[in-house]
C-alpha cells in the first residue's frame, strides 16, 4: 500500500504545481474573464442624440478634444488638424458613430490612429478609409496582410459585450515615424506599459503629447494581458529622453470621475513621477497599497493599479 501512496502523492504534488504555475501565468486572462462575468455595462439613454453623446472642447486653433463622457469610462479622443489633413487619435467605443461629429470640426481628409487596440479606442475605425497602425511585431502577428484580426485579449470587448471586427489598415507606421499634416509632422512613439502596442503622438506646433491609456487621469491600469511595469519604466525614460527638454502638456485617453467635463490635461512632471514611483516600488513592494490590485498614488487624481510579477513582463 505504501508503495502506491508515495507515487500518488508525488503525482498530486506535480499536478498542484502545474496548476499553480498555470493560474499564475494566465492570471491576467482569468482576471478579465472573472471581471466580465460579474460586470454589466451601464445602459445608454436610447433617446440620446449624437450631439448629446459627444462633448467637444477646443484646445487650440488646430486641436479639439472629443469626450465620450456619456460612457462610464470617460474616454477622450483628439482631433489634430493640419493644412492638408487631420488625425483623429482614438475613435471611441463604437456605441455612437463619431465621423459626422468630426466632419463638423474639419473638412480635411481624416486619418484615424488608435493609441492601442482595446475596444474603447478602436470601435469606430470602420467609419474611416485611412486607418494607420503602429508597425511592431505584436501587432503584425494579428494581421493578414493589411487586415487586422484582433484576438479576445488584445481587444477585450467581451467585458462590455462589444464584438470584434476586422480592421483594414491603409498604412503601417514604424516606431518614431511621422504623419505629415501639411504644415507640420506628428511623431509616433511606441510606449509599452499599459499594453505592448501602446503609442503616444507628439504635436510640435502645440507642444502636446497625446498618451492614450498609458498616462491619463484617474486609474492607470497595468494588470491586463500585455501590461508591464518594467515597460512603464522604460517608456517613461524614453519619453524623457525624447521630450524632456520641451516638457509638453500631456493629454490622456480617460478622465477621472471627479473631472466632470474637464479635458484630462496633465503636467509633464507626471512622466517622471510614474518612472520614479514604479521603479522605487519594484525594489520595495511595501510601497504598494493592497494586494490585487496593488496601488500606487502617483499624484493628485492619478493612481497606478497593477498585479503581481505577471504584470512585469
Q: What is the pLDDT of residue 106?
A: 98
Span 255-306, pLDDT tens digits: 998 999 999 999 999 999 999 999 999 999 889 999 889 999 999 999 999 9
Q: What is the DSSP string of 236-250?
A: HHHHHHHHTTT-PEE
**How many Å apart are CA 295 and CA 141, to the nearest integer?**
32
For 206-232, give the DSSP string.
TTEEEEETTS-SEEEEE-STT-BHHHH
- The pLDDT, as a whole number, for residue 189 is 98
**pTM for this structure?**
0.92
The 3 state secondary structure assigned to 249-309 is EEEECECCHHHCCCCCEECCHHHHHHHHHHHHHHHCHHHCECCCCEEEEEECCEEEEECCH
Q: pLDDT tens across 210-222, in order?
A: 999 999 999 999 9
Is 22's pLDDT higher than 50? Answer: no
| Among 125-129, 221-225, 306-310, the least confident range | 306-310
The per-residue pLDDT for 179 is 98
pLDDT score of 56: 98
Percent of the chain with pLDDT over 70: 90
Q: pLDDT class for 20, splitting at 50, 70, 90?
A: very low
Q: How confident is the model at residue 10 (pLDDT cuts 50, 70, 90)?
A: very low
Average pLDDT, the chain: 91
Q: Are 189 and 271 in contact (CB under 8 A)?
A: no
Please write the tens of the pLDDT for every residue from 150-197. Answer: 999 999 999 999 999 999 999 999 999 999 999 999 999 999 999 999
pLDDT at position 262: 94
C-beta separation of 172 from 133 below 8 A: yes
Amino acid at each position: 500500500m505504501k508503495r502506491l501512496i508515495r507515487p500518488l502523492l508525488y503525482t498530486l504534488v506535480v499536478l498542484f504545481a502545474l496548476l499553480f504555475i498555470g493560474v499564475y501565468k494566465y492570471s491576467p486572462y482569468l482576471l478579465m474573464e472573472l471581471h466580465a462575468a460579474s460586470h454589466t455595462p451601464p445602459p445608454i439613454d436610447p433617446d440620446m442624440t449624437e450631439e448629446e453623446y459627444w462633448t467637444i472642447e477646443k484646445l487650440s486653433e488646430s486641436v479639439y478634444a472629443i469626450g465620450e463622457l456619456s460612457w462610464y469610462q470617460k474616454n477622450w479622443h483628439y482631433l489634430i488638424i493640419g493644412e492638408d489633413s487631420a488625425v483623429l487619435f482614438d475613435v471611441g467605443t463604437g456605441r455612437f458613430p463619431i465621423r459626422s461629429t468630426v466632419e463638423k470640426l474639419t473638412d480635411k481628409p481624416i486619418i484615424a490612429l488608435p493609441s492601442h487596440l482595446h475596444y474603447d479606442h478602436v470601435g469606430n475605425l470602420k467609419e474611416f478609409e485611412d486607418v494607420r497602425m503602429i508597425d511592431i511585431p505584436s501587432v503584425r502577428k494579428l494581421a493578414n496582410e493589411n487586415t487586422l484580426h484582433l484576438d479576445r485579449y488584445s481587444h477585450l470587448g467581451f467585458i462590455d459585450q462589444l464584438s470584434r471586427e476586422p480592421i483594414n489598415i491603409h498604412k503601417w507606421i514604424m516606431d518614431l515615424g511621422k504623419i505629415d499634416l501639411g504644415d507640420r509632422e506628428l511623431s509616433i512613439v511606441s510606449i509599452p506599459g499599459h499594453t505592448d502596442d501602446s503609442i503616444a503622438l507628439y504635436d510640435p506646433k502645440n507642444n502636446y503629447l497625446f498618451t492614450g491609456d498609458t498616462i491619463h487621469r484617474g486609474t492607470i491600469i497595468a494588470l491586463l494581458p500585455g501590461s508591464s511595469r518594467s515597460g512603464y519604466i522604460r517608456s517613461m525614460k524614453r519619453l524623457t529622453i525624447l521630450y524632456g527638454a520641451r516638457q509638453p502638456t500631456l493629454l490622456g485617453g480617460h478622465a477621472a470621475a471627479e473631472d466632470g467635463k474637464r479635458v484630462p490635461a496633465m503636467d509633464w512632471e507626471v512622466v517622471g513621477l510614474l518612472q520614479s514611483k514604479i521603479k522605487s516600488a519594484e525594489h520595495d513592494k511595501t510601497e504598494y497599497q493592497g494586494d490585487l490590485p496593488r496601488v500606487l498614488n502617483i499624484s493628485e487624481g492619478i493612481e497606478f493599479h497593477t498585479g503581481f510579477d505577471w504584470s512585469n513582463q
